[in-house]
Homo-oligomer: A and B are copies of this chain.
Amino acid sequence: MSKLIRFSVSIEEDLIEAFDALCRQRGWSNRSEAIRDAIRRQLVEQEWKVGEEVAGVITLLYDHHKTGLAKRLTEIQHDALAEVISATHVHIDHANCLEFIAVKGEATTIERLAHRLIGLKGVKHGELTGTSTGKKIR
C-alpha cells in the first residue's frame, strides 16, 4: 500500500466553484476524487502510448444468425489465449448479441486482436476500450 501524502493547488475561486458544480452534477464523490481520477486517466493513456502491458475490453455487437461468425469469434479468441482473459455474452434480443472480451497484454498486440474481431463480417459494431492492469496505478 502506498503512503498518502497531501499537496496543495492554487486556483481561481470561480474556476473551482464551476468544477465543484460539475462534480455534483455528474455524481462524483468529491473534488479530490475527481482530481485523482483525472491524474489516473492520463497515466492510463500513457501506458497505452508506450505500449506496456495494458488491460482492456473488446465490445462486439453482432447478429448470431450470421453463418460461421460465432465459430470465427471463438477461434480467434483461442488463437489469442495469452491475451484473452474472459468473454461475457449478453442476449439483447432474438438476433442481437453483445460480447465483452476482457484482454490483457502488450498494447499493439491487443489493438491487432481487436481489429481482427471488429473487422469480421457480421460484427455490426465494435470498440476497444483501454484501461490498465492497475499495477503501476494506485
Q: Using A18-B136, A22-B42, A35-B38 as known contacts, say yes or no to A129 and B129 having CB atoms under 8 A apart.
A: yes
Contact-residue size bin, chain A (C-beta under 8 Å from the other chain)? 35 or more
Q: Is the CB of B59 within 8 A of A115?
A: no
Interface majority SS (helix, strand, loop, mixed), chain A: mixed
By a beta-carbon cutoff of 8 Å, the part of chain A in contact with chain B is 1-16, 18-19, 22-23, 26-29, 31-44, 46, 55-57, 59, 61-63, 65, 85-86, 88, 90, 92-93, 95-96, 98, 100, 102, 104, 112, 115-116, 118-121, 123-127, 129-138
Distance in angstroms between the alpha carbons of A6 and B120 in the assembled complex? 19
Tell me the smallest distance from the CB of A64 to a CB of chain B, in Å: 11
